[in-house]
Each structure stands twice: as structure tokens, then as C-alpha cells.
Amino acid sequence: MGKRYFGTDGIRGCVGEEPITPEFMLKLGWAVGRVFRRDGKRNRVLIGKDTRLSGYMFESALEAGLAAAGIDVALLGPIPTPAIAHLTRTYRAVAGIVISASHNPYNDNGVKFFSSQGMKLPDEVELAIEEQLAQPMTLIDSSQLGKAARFEDAKGRYIEFCKSTVQFNLSFSGLKVVLDCAEGATYQVAPSVFREMGAHVESIGVTPNGLNINENIGSTHPEALREKVLASGADVGIAFDGDGDRVVMVDHKGEIVDGDELLYIIAMDRKQKGRLPGGVVGTLMTNYGAELAFREAGIPFERARVGDRYVMEVLSKNGWLLGGEGSGHLVALDCTTTGDGIISALQVLAAMVSSGKSLHDIKQGMQKLPQLMINVRVSERKDPMSIEAIRRAADAAEQRLAGQGRVLLRPSGTEPLIRVMAEGRDASLVQQVAKELAAIVEASM
């Protein structure tokens, strides 16, 4: 049985279009409540959100649906996605719900879920929720209805947890840090974390109005952070996405440091300290330069399908602890259970402090190969390699790169896009191949 609503990272879409409507969210809350109401007990589900205006509406709808199924609700307000994963575990809740569309603009929204262990839900639980969605909504006896309460200390607990992931006596004193909070969920907690670690902090993207989340700012638009770092003479800049599970950084020279490079920095720091059991997991999109750098360092490296759940699957299969994507979604299982932008940034700064090197210097062990990705908007998401004309063009492109690079075509897991990527040693050839291949995809789909 396939999934109708759940994608690779929850349920997401344009606000007001099915299924991102108040009616659906009411039914979804009820369906989740039916699945998680165990043994007739009044269990608790946490709900957090980012700063989108529509989050208020969907928060209320989910709360009502859960209560109708007999589930108590704890409302956390605007807080990063990984904070909800952590607090779901520490509050002993049966599940956590995040209302967010991550790095998308404000007019999109969605929901994603965490289990009681702070992990993404397994397929069988998502299928069970979809089975309930197909049933008529009924109301539990009025004496058993769920209650809702707002938790006021959630942010403070998460701040302390973030700080606990680096050595206790480590201080960032002397570091000047610029934070870009993307007008999103990290706008309150991230500045507090880095100030309490001793850094001198300046912030942008900390005045959300419900409509400006990710707007020309944050990890998907690090240009604003780059300008601020150079203008202020900062040591490092840190950009999060709208819900705080991704991070991209900028060094003191204004060079953008992406997730592949950050993953390399964290892995090398752990190897040098004897804290890297096993290897590292990247994805099909990880720059080939990272693979070469890990090979040279004697660190096993494996690629997973794109998406944090697939990175987690390979980590679990191999018994490894560290993985991530070039987008900045990094997973350090020795710290937490899911991708966390703040915690990932803390690990990088800790590596800088312990090595005595700048971000610019500490990244030099990895040399990225030229890579270009073009997003082609299509009417529906499907495998582009199922179309003969595209398959022939991709084969021809691989032959042109002659073993000095690669191409990759894949549908986005969250948007109606085909991602066309070319990578190789010859930058001009990479650009030419990617553009020609994207044009064929656009004409064929």
C-alpha cells in the first residue's frame, strides 16, 4: 500500500490547497490521536511550529483533532524542529508534531512527526495514520477528551541541551559570530545559545512577521550573511533555515561553507579526538571532493538516497554516527537523534577552538569539485529516467564527462521539481552539460 499524503519528510504543500487546509489538519490530528492513544491511556503529543502566519491556524486545528481522539496536547510555540525531537523524548510524549515547511516560502506549510524516541516515524506508523484518515471522524466520550497546555520552559530546556553537546569547559570567548536565523524558528534560541557559550553575537533574520520567513535570507540565501560577516569583520557566520534543522556557514573571508564541508570538518575533528567509530554517510548529491577527502583520511564513506531519513537508514545499518547533506542537514547521533542546525554549528565552532584554526583554514583538507544543480519545475514528480529521451541524454552526458565526473537526475521529495546535477573536474564542461540536460528535461516532462 502506497502513501497518499506522506512524502519523504512529512506532509507539505501550499496553504489553502489540499491537503494543507484547516479541515485536513483537524482530521489529521484526530488520525494521529487514534494511532497514538494506547491502552486507553491519556497520552501526550507535543506541537511546535516555525514562524509562518498559517501556523496559528494549523496549530489550533491539530490541537482540536488530537483532543477529539483523547490525546493531551503540549503547545511549544515557535521553536526549532530538532528541539521538538529532543523535547518529545524528555517530556516522555508519545509523539511530536512540527508545523513547518522548512526552507520553503511563507505560503507553503506542512507537518512532520517525531516518535517518542525523537526519530522520524517509520513507514508503518505513517501508513497507520493514513488508514485512519480514510475513516469517518468520530468523537471520543466527552469525559475522555484531551486537554491542552502551553509549556513555557521549552526554549530554556532546549538551550541547555544544545550547550551540553560540546565539552563542558569549552568557551567561544573571543569569537565574533554573526547568526542568520532566516526570520524563522531559531530567532529566539540561537542567539542565546551562542552568547551563553561566550561568543560575541550579532544577528540578522530575527524579526519574523509571519510572512518573511526564508525571504532572501537563511541557509538557502546566505548572501545576506556573507555581506554582514565581511562588513562587521566577524570570525564566522552561521545561517539556519526556517525550521532550524539545516545550517550553512560563512568564513571570515566571505566564502560560503556548505554541508559537505561542515560534515568533513566535524568528521576530521572526531577522528583526531578518537570519537569517530566507523565512517560517514553522505548522499547521492554529496560533492565528489568530499568522498576523495574521506578516502585520503582513511574514513569509510557511503552514499544514501537524498533525504535525512535515508541518511539515517544507512547510519543505522552500519552502526555509524555521522552523516549529512550538502544542504546543511547534518546528523550527529552522538549528540542528538535528528538533524540540528544549532548543534551542528556548535560542533564546527568547537573544532575551530580546539584546533586553534579559523573556519577558512580548517576546511582546506577538502577540495570541492565544480558542481552545478539546476531545478526544473514540472507538472508532476516522477522519475525522469523513465523517459527515454532523458535517459539517452543522461547516458550521453556521462560519456562526455569521460570518467572525470558524473550526472544525477532525481525528483524532489517535497516540491514539483526535477533536480539536474552535473559534477566534474572541468567547470566549463560541467556547466554546459547541466544546462543542456536541464533543457531536455524541461522539454520532455
Kindly state whether residues 297 and 317 are assigned to the same domain. yes
pLDDT of residue 279: 98
Task: Give the mean model confidence (pLDDT) for residues 6-17.
Answer: 93
Q: Which residues lie closer than 8 Å to 221 by C-beta, 6 or more apart?
A: 214
pLDDT of residue 148: 97
* Residue 150 β-bridge partners: 75
Sheet of strand 330-332, all strands in order from the earlier edge strand to the far edge: 301-304, 280-283, 322-324, 330-332
Task: Give the mean model confidence (pLDDT) for residues 153-182.
Answer: 97
pLDDT of residue 244: 98
Q: Which residues of 314-353 are buried (b: 16+ CB within 10 A; e: fewer)?
A: bbeebebbbbbbbbbbbbbeebbbbbbbbbbbbbbbbbbb
pLDDT digits (tens, 9 = 90+) for 362-387: 999 999 999 899 999 988 778 899 89
pLDDT of residue 307: 85
pLDDT digits (tens, 9 = 90+) for 268-303: 999 999 999 999 999 988 998 898 899 999 999 999
Is the residue at 120 inside a domain? yes
C-alpha to C-alpha distance for 117 and 64, rounded to whole angstroms:
24
Q: What's the CATH number where 396 sits?
A: 3.30.310.50
pLDDT of residue 47: 98
Percent of the chain with pLDDT over 90: 88
Would you call 322 helix, strand, or coil by DSSP?
A: strand
C-alpha to C-alpha distance for 307 and 323, rounded to whole angstroms:
11
pLDDT digits (tens, 9 = 90+) for 203-243: 999 999 999 999 999 999 999 999 999 999 999 999 999 99
- Residue 164 catalytic? no
Q: What's the CATH number where 187 sits?
A: 3.40.120.10
CB 429 within 8 A of CB 401: yes
Domain boundary among 152, 184, 217: 152
Is the residue at 181 inside a domain? yes
| Amino acid present at 218 | G
Q: Which residues lie closer than 8 Å to 352 by C-beta, 6 or more apart?
A: 175, 236, 358, 359, 362
Kindly state whether residues 15 and 138 are assigned to the same domain. yes
What are the residue ranges of helices labelled H in 164-258?
189-196, 223-232
Judged by average pLDDT, the poorest of 3-12, 262-271, 322-331 is: 3-12
Kindly state whether residues 188 and 63 are assigned to the same domain. no
Peptide bond into 82 cis (omega under 30): no
pLDDT of residue 9: 85
Domain count, the chain: 4
Task: Give the mean model confidence (pLDDT) for residues 404-420.
Answer: 85
pLDDT of residue 239: 98
pLDDT of residue 18: 96
Kindly state whether residues 26 and 137 are assigned to the same domain. yes
The chain-wide mean pLDDT, for the chain, equals 95
pLDDT of residue 415: 80
Q: Which residues lie closer than 8 Å to 377 by C-beta, 6 or more apart?
A: 416, 417
Kindly state whether residues 124 and 253 are assigned to the same domain. no
Kindly state whether residues 85 and 33 are assigned to the same domain. yes
C-alpha to C-alpha distance for 142 and 83, rounded to whole angstroms:
32
pLDDT digits (tens, 9 = 90+) for 54-67: 999 999 999 999 99
Domain boundary among 223, 257, 291: 257
Task: Give the mean model confidence (pLDDT) for residues 184-208.
Answer: 98
Q: pTM for the whole thing?
A: 0.90
C-alpha to C-alpha distance for 23 and 21, rounded to whole angstroms:
5
pLDDT digits (tens, 9 = 90+) for 100-121: 999 999 999 999 999 999 999 9
Is the residue at 50 inside a domain? yes
Query: C-alpha dihedral over 114, 116, 118, 122, to 10 degrees?
Result: -50
Is the residue at 238 inside a domain? yes
pLDDT of residue 131: 96
**Among 23, 26, 21, 78, which Cα is nearest to 47's?**
78
Task: Give the mean model confidence (pLDDT) for residues 323-339.
Answer: 96
Kindly state whether residues 42 and 114 are assigned to the same domain. yes
Is the residue at 415 inside a domain? yes
Domain boundary among 232, 257, 282: 257
Sheet of strand 371-377, all strands in order from the earlier edge strand to the far edge: 371-377, 417-424, 405-411
Q: Which domain holds residue 325?
A: 258-341+349-368
C-alpha to C-alpha distance for 352 and 354, rounded to whole angstroms:
6
pLDDT of residue 235: 98
Task: Give the mean model confidence (pLDDT) for residues 337-358.
Answer: 97
**Distances in whole angstroms, Cα of residue 4 to Cα of each of 7, 96, 127:** 8, 21, 9
pLDDT digits (tens, 9 = 90+) for 125-140: 999 999 999 999 999 9
C-alpha to C-alpha distance for 184 and 205, rounded to whole angstroms:
7
Kindly state whether residues 242 and 209 are assigned to the same domain. yes
Exactly one of 54, 102, 327, 412 is catalytic; name it: 102
pLDDT of residue 395: 92
pLDDT digits (tens, 9 = 90+) for 31-42: 999 999 976 777
Q: State the DSSP H helix or E strand holding residue 408, giving kind and residue range, or none if neither.
A: strand 405-411
pLDDT of residue 1: 59
C-alpha to C-alpha distance for 316 and 242, rounded to whole angstroms:
27
